[in-house]
Amino acid sequence: MKIVILDGHALNPGDLSYDVFKEFGEVTYYERTSPELTLERIIDADIVFLNKVNLTRDILSQCKNLKYIGVFATGYNVVDVSAARDLGIVVTNIPSYSTMAVAQSVFALLMEFYNAVSLHSKSVMDGEWISSKDFCYWKVPLTELYQKKIGLVGFGSIGQRVARIASSFGMQVSVYTRNSQKISDYNKTARDDEKVTEVTLDELLKNSDIISLHCPLTNENQKMINIESLSKIKSGAILVNTARGGLVDESAVRKALEEKKLAGYACDVISEEPMKKDSPLLGAPNCIITPHIAWAAKETRIKLLNIAVENLRGFLNGKIVNQVN
């Protein structure tokens, strides 16, 4: 059985091992695969693993041996799942593996705004504390999270984890979601100080000190944060996006930052990755960007790899799990 890993570097830059797949067959590994090389690399493969390589109907229809595609991610839009279904190819993903890591990243981004750790550490290393006339100083206003209002757009596993962490800081949590049952189920098991309030999107935008996005990208919510929605937000709010770059109109966000309608934008995702030179966010004021690393803690990647192995094992044993088509 021939197994091909098309773009394995992001998951495993060298600190993990793909030898775990060798029990299932011959493994061919590529760090990255360009579009023009995709077909020739999987033309005779039985099993393919990928992260961000696109598999179109045209490509899939030419891979006569292909039986299984494992996506090294939760999102699987890179695969034409309708075509795969028509061709009898099983597609699986990795759900809920990054919940803890992404929730942690939300607060790491927030702390950069509210505690300005990097800014003050740099000032100390530059000698400013040595020359200070006082035992302490701060270069920007510092802010407590306590009693701040955080609004969550979307309430899946990551949103729920963010809500629990926010509650531990003493924050007030409101949620906008199309699935009210998730809020009901969450509140049934939450302590009184962890319960969240369901609100409309307009209410969330108007009242939140912090807005954090935790929903999947769909045709309906693409660029949901735009000139119109930004006009409704509480002046001085901070926007956090660890979900999908396409949820945000980045030109509108830059304008809101420049006009100080938004106090800050922190994101781990942008609409086109890697970033292009003409990205509206490049050099934007009060903007913190990390290069899609919220999921990348080693513990998280180990979990992902282990689930990928079990997905394949389940498929081969006739007990398919995490199928998306």
Residue ranges per structural domain of the chain: 2-95+298-316, 99-289
Catalytic residue among 244, 250, 254, 301: 244
d(C-alpha 138, C-alpha 275), whole Å: 32
Quote the pLDDT of residue 234: 94
Q: Which of 161, 254, 292, 301 is catalytic?
A: 292
Catalytic residue among 31, 128, 273, 313: 273
pLDDT (0 to 100) of residue 325: 95
Phi, psi of 174 (to 5 degrees): -120, 155
| Segment holding 107, helix H or strand E | helix 99-114
Q: Which residues make beta-bridge pairs with 264? A: 238
| Dist. CA 181–CA 325, nearest whole Å | 25
Active site annotation includes 9: no
Query: What is the C-alpha to C-alpha distance for residues 122 and 83, in angstroms, rounded to an integer?
Result: 52
Does the bond joining 95 to the residue before it have cis omega, within 30 degrees of 0? Answer: no
310 is known as an active-site residue: no
Q: How confident is the model at residue 156 (pLDDT cuts 50, 70, 90)?
A: very high
Instruction: Give CA–CA dist 238/113, Å, rounded.
Output: 9
Angle CA 289–293–294, to nearest 5: 95
Q: Classify 2-95+298-316 by CATH class.
A: alpha beta
Task: Count the Cβ atoms, other than its own, within 10 Å of residue 30.
Answer: 18
**b or e along 77-86 (b: 16 or more beta carbons within 10 Å of the residue's beta carbon)?**
ebbbbebbee
CATH of domain 99-289: 3.40.50.720
Joined together, the tokens standing for residue 69 give 């595609």
Reported as a single tens digit per residue, the pLDDT across 246-264 is 999 999 999 999 999 999 9
Tell which residue, 214, 278, 209, has the closest CA to residue 247.
214
Domain pair 2-95+298-316 / 99-289, same fold = yes
Please indicate whether residue 161 is annotated as part of the active site. no
**What is the rounded distance in angstroms from the CA atom of residue 235 to the CA atom of residue 207?**
10
- Return the percentage of the chain with pLDDT > 90, whole number: 99
pTM here?
0.93
Q: Could you tell me the CA-to-CA distances from 101 to 104, 218, 230, 242, 267 in Å, in that order?
A: 5, 23, 28, 11, 14
The 10s digit of each residue's pLDDT in 71-109 is 999 989 999 999 999 999 999 999 999 999 999 999 999
